[in-house]
Amino acid sequence: MPLLVMKFGGTSVADLDRIKNVAQKVKREVERGYDVIVIVSAMSGKTNELVGWVESTSPLYDAREYDAVVSSGENITAGLMALTLQEMDVPARSWQGWQVPINTTSAHASARFSSIPTENLNAKFAEGFKVAVVAGFQGVSPEGRITTLGRGGSDTTAVAFAAAFGAERCDIFTDVDGIYTTDPRITSRARKLDRIAFEEMLELASLGAKVLQTRSVELAMRYKVPLRVLSSFEDTDENSGTLLCDEDEIMESKVVSGVAYSRDEAKVTLVTVEDSPGIAAAIFGPLSEAGVNVDMIVQNISEKADVGPVTDMTFSCPTNQVARARKAMEDAKAAGTIRYEDLSIDSDVAKVSVVGIGMRSHAGVAAIMFKALSKENINIKVISTSEIKISVLIDRKYMELAVQALHDAFELDKAG
């Protein structure tokens, strides 16, 4: 039998009526001749509630017990989904992560897959079961403890199952009907894409687009899993949603495919740092050890007669990691590892990026981007580029204006 993987997020299974709605979608695929693996998230808001209970009980909690509590939300949804399908005369049963088993590393709250054996589920399909409802977001460590994969981990679970079982396709059902050229809440001219390359989606996800977890896109790209994003609240067919695929499966694409943004950014500058071999390692080593996710980096070199060659080192990081970054730099200075005159932090910035595989073969994208921002009197603080993206840091108050201006400049409301 051909196999499909269908994943339903928290808003799609928020209550019993919504569970019945998505169960009907699963039943339709069974009637079309598919065996189906359904990956479910916890009901909307449930994971936050469970996390709150853990933190209220034990602020310095044991991560193993945290996983035991927080993973329970998906177990409830899986059981309810299986019961609902059974009431619809669809042969189904639920599976918790340890029952599959979904083998992971021991990194509690941020575990990674090590293997997903197929024997147990395939044996049930051979017995006549048509649907396996699997609790997403969780697995089991080599020590036999429940693990979780980090927020958004159910997306990654779905793609991993599609790869392990050789599924025909992996459908991610959510509260939006596909991938858009930018956030439709910012500009009404945003256009839904029929197809997008894995690389483009990976950049968009990492730059702030929240439709898919970054790790799920990485996994789909590595194992060539056809991945589709579509709405659980609309009637769908084989042409619905947005398909993520290889670049060569897209006949012709625009130079820029989308505009992404992240409002929770901070700019950190070490002023007057001694410019000597190894200084970058001396700065970014302690930041890495402190768990600071450094993104954009700019170095300005100057010469001071009384000091010698010095540099200002600027980098960006999430606003919720600023305190850790400050402490890491102050500790490094106190230890004599680095020397600087001042530590300047601007937490009122945003990152705006344009992404597109067409940038590989077309010049002038940066010129169009900078001209559009200049026209709106938006000052650029930091610039970062890769083969298929250009990102800038700007004042946060101009973020929405910048997104709209760039969307218009690259005519993303027009197809092809």
Q: Residues at the annotated binding site for ATP? A: 7-10, 174-175, 180, 185, 210-211
Q: Which long-range contacts (CB under 8 A, 24 or more apart) does 231-235 make?
A: 231/173, 231/174, 231/175, 231/176, 231/177, 231/178, 232/8, 232/9, 232/11, 232/12, 232/18, 232/21, 232/22, 232/25, 232/173, 232/174, 232/175, 233/12, 233/21, 233/175, 234/177
Kindly write down the DSSP assignment for every residue of 56-123, as one continuous string: HH-TT--HHHHHHHHTHHHHHHHHHHHHHHHHTT--EEEE-GGGTT-EE-S-TTS--EEE---HHHHH
- Render the burial of 268-293: b for 16+ CB within 10 Å, e for the rest: bbbebbebeeebeebbbebbeebebe
- 412: which 2 tokens? 């993303």
Helix (H) or strand (E) holding 311: strand 308-318
Q: In what order do the strands lie in the sheet with 146-148?
A: 113-115, 103-104, 138-140, 146-148
Q: How far apart are CA 414 and CA 408, in angstroms?
A: 10
Binding residue ranges for substrate: 47, 74
Binding residues: 7-10, 47, 74, 174-175, 180, 185, 210-211
Which amino acid makes up residue 374? S
**What's the one-letter identity of residue 174?**
T
Q: Which residue has the tokens 């019961």?
A: 83
4 phi/psi in degrees, rounded to 5? -120, 150
382-387, long-range: CB within 8 Å, 24+ apart, which pairs? 382/267, 382/296, 382/298, 382/314, 382/316, 383/296, 383/298, 384/295, 384/296, 384/297, 386/203, 387/359, 387/360
DSSP bridge pairs for 312: 300
Instruction: Give CA–CA dist 216/373, Å, rounded.
Output: 32
Alpha carbons 39 and 5: distance in angstroms, whole number: 7
Q: 């996710």: which residue's tokens?
A: 293
